[in-house]
Every structure is written in C-alpha cells, then in structure tokens.
Structure 1
Amino acid sequence: MLGKILLTLDAVALLLGAPLADYNHTHIFNPRWPPHAKFHAGQTITLSLILSLATLYYTWRSSFSDRSTPTPLVAQFRRRAEEDSLRTAAFLGSIYWLAGLLAVLYPGAEGIDPEFGTGFPQGPGFAVGAMAAVLGWALERKGGSALM
C-alpha cells in the first residue's frame, strides 16, 4: 500500500505541479514569450494532467476489480495484470519528471528565464517526482503493501 500511496502522491504532483508552475507570469502570461513558446507551455501543462490521470488509473484499477475467490489460473492472471498496471503507472508517473530533468541538456536551454533568476530550481522536484514513481512501483513489487 505504501507504494500505491507514493504513486498517488506522484500523480497529485503531476496534476498540480505544471499548472501551478507554468500558468502564471513566468510562462503563459509572460509578455516576452512568443506564441509558440506559450503553445509548448500549454502542451507541457496538458501532458502533466494526462499523465497524472493515467498514473492514478493504473495505480488503483486493480483495487476496483472483482474480489470473488478466483480459480488458481484467474488468480495468477490477476496478479500479473496488477503487476503490469503498477509498472505502467510507474512508467507514466515518471515520464514528465525525466523529460524535465533531460530538457536542460538541449542547446541554449535553461531551467528559468534570466529575468526571474538563474539555475535549475525545478531540478530537485523533478528528481523527487521520478523517484516517487519508481520507489512506489518497487515497494509494491517487493510486497510493500505489507508495510502499511
């Protein structure tokens, strides 16, 4: 269960992070930004929302399935389906964060516009988001539900 909680926290961070960080004067409402840059900011916000919802779905979908006593074959199928769902949730929950970490490697890319400061202030948050997704999956994979 602790793993699913970490995946859920990751999804909530995806749901709120980009809209709070980018739908403001530093991005969408920045008069210095050309329309195409604002298009990509909108694309990024929308991507984080979609990934958040998909991460939540794959994290919790097995919790809402039929809980009747299955045959051994059905039980094995359900275990494999749940494992696959959690792998998918971790993958979807880490994509945005990994892309953010790698984006600064592009020529001329910076983590923040010079008018607002220097550095890569979102870097630690991106790293924590990616780690939450991977750690959540790993805990569930190793039977982390016994921790709660």
Structure 2
Amino acid sequence: MLGKALLTVDAIGLLLGAPIADMSHSHIYNDRWPPHAKFHCGQTITLSVILGLGTLFFTWRSSFLSRSTPAPVAARVARDSLHAAVFTGTIYWLAGLAAVLFPGSAGIDPEFGPPETFPQAPVFTAFAGLAVLGWAYETLLH
C-alpha cells in the first residue's frame, strides 16, 4: 500500500503541478510569449493531466478487479498495471529534465531569474523518484 500511496502522490503532482505552474504570468499569461509557445504550454499542461489520470488508473486498477477474477489473472493485471503506472508517472518529469538540453532552452525566462538556473530540476526529480520508489516497493519489495 505504501508503494501505491507514493505513486498516488506522484499522480497528484502531475494533475496539479503543470496547471498551477504554467497557468501563470510567467507562462500562458506572459505577454512576451508568442502564440505557438502558448500552444506548446497548453499541450504540456494537458499532457501532464492525462498522465496523472493514467497513473492513478494504473496504480489502483487491480483494486477494482472482481472478486471472481482468477488469482493468476489478478496478479498479472496488478503487475502489468504497476509497470504502466511507473511509466506514466515518470515520463513527464523525465521529459522536463531533458528539455533544458535543447538549443536555446532554459529552465526560467530571464525576467524571472538567471537563465542558467533550473528550479524545476529538484521538483521533477522528486516526483519521478516517488513513482520509481512506489513501483519498486510494490513490485520488488512487496
């Protein structure tokens, strides 16, 4: 259950993180951003929410199996669902960590801080870590 709780916290981060951080004056409401940049911001917000919903679904899917589901089938569904949950629960954060590797990108716009800083890195790493720890607890240690 601890592993599923960690995956759930990760999913909540996906569901709320991008909408809160990106629906702000530094992103979607930034008058300096061109329309296409705002399009990609909207794409990122939507992707984060969808991945959060997917992470929740796969984390708790096996809990809703019918009592008549044969034990071997239930065990396989539970295992496969947790593998899917760690995937959906980490890819957004890993993509965010990789984004600064693209030419001309930065973790923050100059008007909001030094462009060489990357304030998202600890948050992205922590949430990805929660997903991996939750998966490991449920699949390897449990």
How far apart, CA to CA, are the structure 1 residues paired with 2:24 and 2:99? 20
What is aligned with 1:139?
A: 137
What is aligned with 1:87?
A: 83
What is aligned with 1:115?
A: 111
SS at match of 1:49: helix
What is aligned with 2:31?
A: 31
SS at match of 1:6: helix
Name the TM-score, length of structure 2 as normaliser. Answer: 0.95
Matched AA of 1:76:
P
- How much is the aligned-residue C-alpha RMSD, in angstroms? 1.0
Tell which has more relative contact order, 1 or 2 (C-alpha 8 A, sep 6+): 1
What is aligned with 1:103?
A: 99
How far apart, CA to CA, are the structure 1 residues paired with 2:104 and 2:61? 41
* Max Rg structure: 1
What is aligned with 2:18?
A: 18
Name the TM-score, length of structure 1 as normaliser. Answer: 0.92
- Counting matched residue pairs gives 140
How far apart, CA to CA, are the structure 1 residues paired with 2:140 and 2:106? 38
Aligned-pair CA distance for 1:49: 0.4
Aligned-pair CA distance for 1:77: 1.9
Structure 1 unaligned blocks of 5 or more: none
List structure 1 runs of 4+ shifted beyond 6 angstroms.
Answer: none
Matched AA of 1:42:
G
Identity %: 64
What is aligned with 2:125?
A: 127
Deviations 1:5-53 (A, max 9, x none): 0000000000110011000100000000000000000000000000000
How far apart, CA to CA, are the structure 2 residues paired with 1:61 and 1:143? 20
Deviations 1:29-88 (A, max 9, x none): 0000000000000000000000000100000011011124x6xxx311211111000000
